[in-house]
Amino acid sequence: MTGIDTVVERADAAGAKWRATPAAERAAILEGVADALLKNLDELWPVADAETHLGEVRLRGEIGRTASQFRLFAEVLRDGGSAEAVIDHADPDATPPLPDVRRMNQPIGVVAVFAASNFPFAFSVAGGDTVSALAAGCAVVVKAHEGHPRTSDLTASVVRQALPDPDLLGLVHGFEAGGPLVRHPLVTAVGFTGSLAGGTAVKGLIDQRPDPIPFYGELGSVNPVIVLPSADPATVAAGFAASLTLGVGQFCTNPGLVFVPEGREGDAGAFERAIGDAVAATTGGRMLTAKIHDGFLRAADRLAGRPGVARLSSGAAGTAPDAVTPQVFSVPLEAFADGLPELGEECFGPAAIVVKYRDPSDLPAVLRRLPGSLTATVHAGPGAAPKEAGAVVQVLRRLAGRLIWNGWPTGVAVTWAMHHGGPWPASTAPAHTSVGAAAIRRWLVPVAYQDWPAALLPPELQDGNPLGVPQRVDGRLRA
Amino acid sequence: MTGIDTVVERADAAGAKWRATPAAERAAILEGVADALLKNLDELWPVADAETHLGEVRLRGEIGRTASQFRLFAEVLRDGGSAEAVIDHADPDATPPLPDVRRMNQPIGVVAVFAASNFPFAFSVAGGDTVSALAAGCAVVVKAHEGHPRTSDLTASVVRQALPDPDLLGLVHGFEAGGPLVRHPLVTAVGFTGSLAGGTAVKGLIDQRPDPIPFYGELGSVNPVIVLPSADPATVAAGFAASLTLGVGQFCTNPGLVFVPEGREGDAGAFERAIGDAVAATTGGRMLTAKIHDGFLRAADRLAGRPGVARLSSGAAGTAPDAVTPQVFSVPLEAFADGLPELGEECFGPAAIVVKYRDPSDLPAVLRRLPGSLTATVHAGPGAAPKEAGAVVQVLRRLAGRLIWNGWPTGVAVTWAMHHGGPWPASTAPAHTSVGAAAIRRWLVPVAYQDWPAALLPPELQDGNPLGVPQRVDGRLRA
The CATH number given to whatever domain includes residue B25 is 3.40.605.10
Are both B209 and B238 inside the same structural domain?
no
Contacts of A138 (CB under 8 A, 6+ apart): A15, A18, A19, A107, A108, A109, A110, A111, A188, A189, A443
Residue of A nearest to B441 (CA): A431
How far apart (Å, rounded) are the C-alpha atoms in residues B304 and B329? 7
Q: What share of chain B is helix, strand, coil (3-state, %, to 5)?
A: 45, 20, 40
- The verdict on a CB contact (< 8 Å) between B423 and A472 is no
Q: Share the mean pLDDT of chain B.
A: 95
Q: Does B274 touch chain A (CB under 8 A)?
A: no
Q: Is residue B291 part of a domain?
A: yes
Is B218 assigned a catalytic role? yes
Is B84 assigned a catalytic role? no
Of residues B403, B474, B479, nearest to A447 (C-beta): B403
Are both A239 and A300 inside the same structural domain?
yes
Are both A149 and A239 inside the same structural domain?
no
Are both B86 and B174 inside the same structural domain?
yes
Are both B175 and B91 inside the same structural domain?
yes
Nearest CA-CA distance, residue A79 and chain B, Å: 8
- Structure confidence at residue B312 (pLDDT): 97
For residues B383 and B127, the model is more confident at B127
B468: left (phi over 0), alpha (psi -120 to 50) or beta: left
Question: Active site residue: B252, B262, B347, B460, which one?
Answer: B252
Structural contact between residues A275 and A245, judged by C-beta atoms closer than 8 angstroms = no
Which residues are B379's β-sheet partners? B227
Residue-wise pLDDT tens digits, B304-330? 999 999 999 999 998 888 999 999 999
Instruction: Please check the confidence at residue B224 and state whether its pLDDT lies above 60.
Output: yes
Which whole number is the average pLDDT over B21-46? Answer: 98
Instruction: Write the CA distances from A196 to A189, A200, A448, integer angstroms.
Output: 18, 6, 36
Among the candidates A371, A405, A439, a domain finishes at: A405
Q: Is residue B298 part of a domain?
A: yes
Instruction: Please check the confidence at residue B265 and state whether its pLDDT lies above 80.
Output: no
How far apart (Å, rounded) are the C-alpha atoms in residues A400 and A376? 6
Which whole number is the average pLDDT over B225-247? Answer: 96
Find chain B residues with C-beta within 8 A of A341's C-beta: 210
Of residues A106, A108, A417, nearest to B88 (C-beta): A417
CATH number at residue B291: 3.40.309.10
Are both A360 and A213 inside the same structural domain?
no
How far apart (Å, rounded) are the C-alpha atoms in residues A334 and A171? 48
Among the candidates B371, B390, B405, a domain finishes at: B405
3-state secondary structure of B5: helix
- The verdict on a CB contact (< 8 Å) between B448 and A401 is yes
**Residue B371: DSSP 8-state:** P
3-state secondary structure of B278: helix
Are both A78 and A124 inside the same structural domain?
yes
Are both B357 and B442 inside the same structural domain?
no
Structural contact between residues A442 and A132, judged by C-beta atoms closer than 8 angstroms = yes
- The verdict on a CB contact (< 8 Å) between B475 and A75 is yes
Structural contact between residues B419 and B402, judged by C-beta atoms closer than 8 angstroms = yes
Nearest CA-CA distance, residue B322 and chain A, Å: 30
- Structure confidence at residue A385 (pLDDT): 63
Are both B250 and B339 inside the same structural domain?
yes
**Which of A:320-339 have CB within 8 Å of B?**
none
Structural domain count, chain B: 2
How far apart (Å, rounded) are the C-alpha atoms in residues A444 and A458? 15
Q: Is residue B421 part of a domain?
A: no
Of residues B210, B405, B475, nearest to A451 (C-beta): B405
State the first-to-last Cα distance of chain A, in angstroms, to the nearest integer: 48
Q: Is residue A424 part of a domain?
A: no
Q: Is residue B346 part of a domain?
A: yes
- Structure confidence at residue B384 (pLDDT): 62
How far apart (Å, rounded) are the C-alpha atoms in residues A401 and A423? 8
Find chain B residues with C-beta within 8 A of A372's C-beta: 211
Q: Is residue B65 part of a domain?
A: yes
Residue of A nearest to B419 (CA): A448
What is the CB-side half-sphere exposure of residue B337 using CA atoms within 13 A? 13
Among the candidates B389, B405, B421, a domain finishes at: B405
Q: Is residue A388 part of a domain?
A: yes
How far apart (Å, rounded) are the C-alpha atoms in residues B414 and B135? 15
Instruction: Please check the confidence at residue B385 and state whether its pLDDT lies above 70.
Output: no
Q: Does A415 touch chain B (CB under 8 A)?
A: yes
This model of the complex carries an ipTM of: 0.96
- Structure confidence at residue A382 (pLDDT): 85
Are both B80 and B146 inside the same structural domain?
yes
- Angle B354-B356-B361 from CA coordinates, rounded to 5°: 130
Residue B336's domain spans which residues?
Answer: 224-405
Find chain A residues with C-beta within 8 A of B211's C-beta: 371-372, 423-425
- The verdict on a CB contact (< 8 Å) between B207 and A207 is yes
Per-residue confidence in pLDDT tens, chain A, 479 aa: 469 999 999 999 999 999 999 999 999 999 999 999 999 999 999 999 999 999 999 999 999 999 999 999 999 999 999 999 999 999 999 988 999 999 999 999 999 999 999 999 999 999 999 999 999 999 999 999 999 999 999 999 999 999 999 999 999 999 999 999 999 999 999 999 999 999 999 999 999 999 999 999 999 999 999 999 999 999 999 999 999 999 999 999 999 999 999 988 767 799 999 999 999 999 999 999 999 999 999 999 999 999 999 999 999 998 888 999 999 999 999 999 999 999 999 999 999 999 999 999 999 999 999 999 999 999 999 876 677 788 898 899 999 999 999 999 999 999 999 999 999 999 999 999 999 999 999 999 999 999 999 989 999 999 999 999 999 999 999 98
- Structure confidence at residue B146 (pLDDT): 95
Q: Is residue A170 part of a domain?
A: yes
Are both A246 and A191 inside the same structural domain?
no
Q: Is the peptide bond before B214 cis (omega within 30 degrees of 0)?
A: no
Taking alpha carbons only, the member of A454, A455, A447 closest to residue A107 is A447
Are both A22 and A102 inside the same structural domain?
yes
**Which of A:8-37 have CB within 8 Å of B?**
16
State the first-to-last Cα distance of chain B, in angstroms, to the nearest integer: 48
- State the pLDDT confidence band at B61, using cuts at 50, 70 and 90: very high
Find chain A residues with C-beta within 8 A of B444's C-beta: 431
Q: Does B476 touch chain A (CB under 8 A)?
A: yes
Instruction: Please check the confidence at residue B122 and state whether its pLDDT lies above 80.
Output: yes
Q: What share of chain A is helix, strand, coil (3-state, %, to 5)?
A: 45, 20, 40
Instruction: Write the CA distances from B341 to B330, B335, B337, B427, integer angstroms.
Output: 16, 12, 8, 18
